[in-house]
């Protein structure tokens, strides 16, 4: 459902994404791992049409994200980094607005908002303004807007950022359940999330893919069967490599 082909993104002299290719199909939950500055968020922003690629191609549901952005974006839900929202809107107002711009009106909008609120456990803050929410509830509100239209494809940038341990567990379980019927890519720094929720893992470092496989395949590279050992071994910082 997502096809990334020879993707390159440069910012001046910096090559943030360096000729990467991968696919994501329905029923897959792809964990996108890498150290800070590896190119994870940049890649996800290109997939969602926020950044244009310098070279290469991304298709979403068969639609080129550059040539047919509206058709491609209709198929996606996107949770950006830092979970932005309109501070003076209530949670209910924001989700109703998000549903409407996704083409849902009347009873369909009410049902979609109710389901998203229930799924993300937002009942207790439904009529609070977003600026009064904790970081965790702000993140859950933005996650709710990404699923309000029940998209086939989800692109989630750090979906458990700011959540407490119970909320993290709930979010991982939700992602795993949704991944049975959708195509999901999410970035994270938490290796435990990958083992619990993902069917496949890509590790990116300095803009290049350095590993691609199931969590079990990657863990088999470590004598101790530990994913964090594998991650450290292939993403050593420049100071260590020097």
User: What are 80-107's pLDDT values in tens digits?
Assistant: 887 788 999 999 999 999 999 999 999 9
Q: Which residues pair with residue 20 across a beta bridge?
A: 7
pLDDT class for 238, splitting at 50, 70, 90?
A: low
Sheet holding 2-11, edge to edge: 14-24, 2-11, 55-60, 63-64
Q: Residue 166: what pLDDT?
A: 85
Above pLDDT 90, what percent of the chain?
Answer: 70
**Buried-state track 152-173, b at ≥16 Cβ within 10 A, e below 16:** bbbbbbbbbbbbeeebbebbbe
CA dist., res. 127 & res. 109, Å (int): 17
Mean pLDDT of 48-56: 96
Tens-place pLDDT, residues 18-33: 999 999 999 999 999 9
Mode of pairing for the β-strands spanning 55-60 and 63-64 = antiparallel
222 membership: H or E segment, kind and range: none
The arithmetic mean of pLDDT across residues 38-59, rounded, is 95
Burial of 221-235, coded b for 16+ CB within 10 Å and e otherwise, reads eeeeeebeebbeeeb
Q: Report residue 239's pLDDT band, with 50, 70 and 90 as the boundaries.
A: very low
- CATH code that applies to domain 1-75+152-161+171-242: 3.40.50.300
Is residue 195 predicted with pLDDT exceeding 70? yes
Location of each CATH 3.40.50.300 domain in the chain: 1-75+152-161+171-242
Residue where the block lists tokens 């458990």: 160
Helices 165-178 + 135-147 axis angle, to 10: 10
Prediction pTM value: 0.90
Q: Is the pLDDT of residue 68 over 90?
A: yes
Instruction: Say if CB 97 and CB 105 are below 8 A apart.
Output: no
Quickly tell me which residue has 């109710």 as its tokens.
Answer: 114
Q: What is the pLDDT of residues 119-176, one digit of tens each?
A: 888 999 999 999 999 888 998 999 999 999 999 999 999 888 778 888 888 888 889 9
> Which pLDDT score is estimated for 236?
67
């Amino acid at each position: 459902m997502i096809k990334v082909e020879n993707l390159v993104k440069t910012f001046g002299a910096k090559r943030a994404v360096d000729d990467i290719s991968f696919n994501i199909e329905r029923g897959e939950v792809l964990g996108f791992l890498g150290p800070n500055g590896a190119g994870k968020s940049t890649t996800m922003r290109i997939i969602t049409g926020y950044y244009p690629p310098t070279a290469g191609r991304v298709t979403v549901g068969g639609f080129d994200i550059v040539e047919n952005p509206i058709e491609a974006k209709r198929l996606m839900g996107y949770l950006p980094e830092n979970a932005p929202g309109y501070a003076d809107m209530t949670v209910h107002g924001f989700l109703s607005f998000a549903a409407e711009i996704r083409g849902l009106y009347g009873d369909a909008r009410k049902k979609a908002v109710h389901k998203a609120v229930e799924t993300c456990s937002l009942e207790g803050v439904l009529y609070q303004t977003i600026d009064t929410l904790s970081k965790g509830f702000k993140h859950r509100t933005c996650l709710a807007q990404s699923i309000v239209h029940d998209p086939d494809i989800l692109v989630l940038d750090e979906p458990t950022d700011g959540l407490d341990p119970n909320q993290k567990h709930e979010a991982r379980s939700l992602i795993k359940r949704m991944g049975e019927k959708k195509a999901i890519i999410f970035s994270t720094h938490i290796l435990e999330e990958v083992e619990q929720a993902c069917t496949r893992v890509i590790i990116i470092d300095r803009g290049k893919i350095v590993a691609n496989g199931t969590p079990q395949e990657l863990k088999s590279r470590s004598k101790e069967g530990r994913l964090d050992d594998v991650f450290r071994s292939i993403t050593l910082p420049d100071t260590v490599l020097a």
